Amino acid sequence: PITPPPLLCLGSRGGFSGLFYYPPPKKARAVAGGQEAPPLQVDDDLGGVVSSADGTPPPYVALEGIVLPAKAALTSHYHEGLQGVIQKLLLKEHRLIWNSLARSW
């Protein structure tokens, strides 16, 4: 026998879970745009293709080609023979502020 209060709690729990786990529309559009990106080859003609775009270039493109590392390629510890490179490394430090109410930084 299930009484109304537990049913109400269970229903509200499901509603809040659906509300907070639903991806925002902006993120969903970004994922969809990345999946529909036109593929471009990395070669000598890439600069001409990008500059010849009428108006603005496409927001997302998929680059295909061979990438050479600047110093040495990274090797995987888990998969033998798998190598990769880092395209861009960004370090952003956030300023810490003491919260006296929560007594934390």
Q: Are the C-beta atoms of 43 and 64 separated by less than 8 Å?
A: no
Amino acid, single-letter form, for residue 22: Y
Q: Output the furthest CA–CA distance in the chain (Å, rounded).
A: 73
DSSP assignment of 23-82 equals PPHHHHHHHHHHHTPPEEE-STTHHHHHHTSSSS--S--EEES----SS--EE-SSSTT-
The model's pLDDT over 22-42, given as tens digits with 9 standing for 90+, comes to: 667 777 777 777 777 778 887
Q: How confident is the model at residue 32, as a pLDDT?
A: 78
pLDDT tops 80 at residue 6: yes
Q: How confident is the model at residue 24, as a pLDDT?
A: 73
Q: Are the C-beta atoms of 74 and 83 separated by less than 8 Å?
A: yes
Q: Kindly report the pTM of this predicted structure.
A: 0.38
The model's pLDDT over 41-83, given as tens digits with 9 standing for 90+, comes to: 877 777 777 777 677 766 777 778 877 888 888 898 998 888 8
